[in-house]
Structure 1
C-alpha cells in the first residue's frame, strides 16, 4: 500500500490550534489504530510551525479524504498541506 508524507504548515493562530489540539490528536489516534497513520508529530518553527504525518492508503484521494476530516482543517489553522507519495527503502516503513 502506498505511503504518503503529509506536511502541514500552520498559520499564525496558535490559540485556536492549541484549543483544537486534543481533537486533532484524537483524530490521529483513530487513524493510527486503523493503520492509516504510521507516525506523526510536530515540526520545529523554522521557517514556520508545522506537522508531519506518515500515512498509508490505497490512493492520494483516500489520504485527502482523511485530511479533510482533521479538526485542524475544520478550524482553519492549516495554511498549507503538501501531500507526497513516499517510497521508504530502509526502516520500519519500507515495503521490501
Structure 2
C-alpha cells in the first residue's frame, strides 16, 4: 500500500473515525519498515490476523469496515486481499518435505 496523502482531512479525524473492534483480529504487521530484498517494493504492508477466512470475510463485509474503508481508499493506493494462513506452529520445512515426498 502506498500512501497518497500526508495529512488527514477533517472528515477522518480521530473523533469521527469508528473504532477498530476487537473482532477484527490482531495486526501483527502494520506499516513497519520493508526491506525489499528481491524485486522492487514501493509501499507498506498491513496484515490483519483473523481466526479463519469466514471471520475475515464477515469483517470485510461489515458496516463497521465499510465506514472506515474511505480512510484506506482515499489516502492510499493498494490492494486488500483475504489470504489463507497456516496453523500455529507451522514450519515451512514440514510443508516442503511433504511436497517433495509426494512428487516421488
The two structures have a TM-score, normalised by structure 2, of: 0.47
Higher strand fraction: Structure 1 or Structure 2? 1
Higher relative contact order (CA 8 A, sep 6+): 1
The two structures have a TM-score, normalised by structure 1, of: 0.49
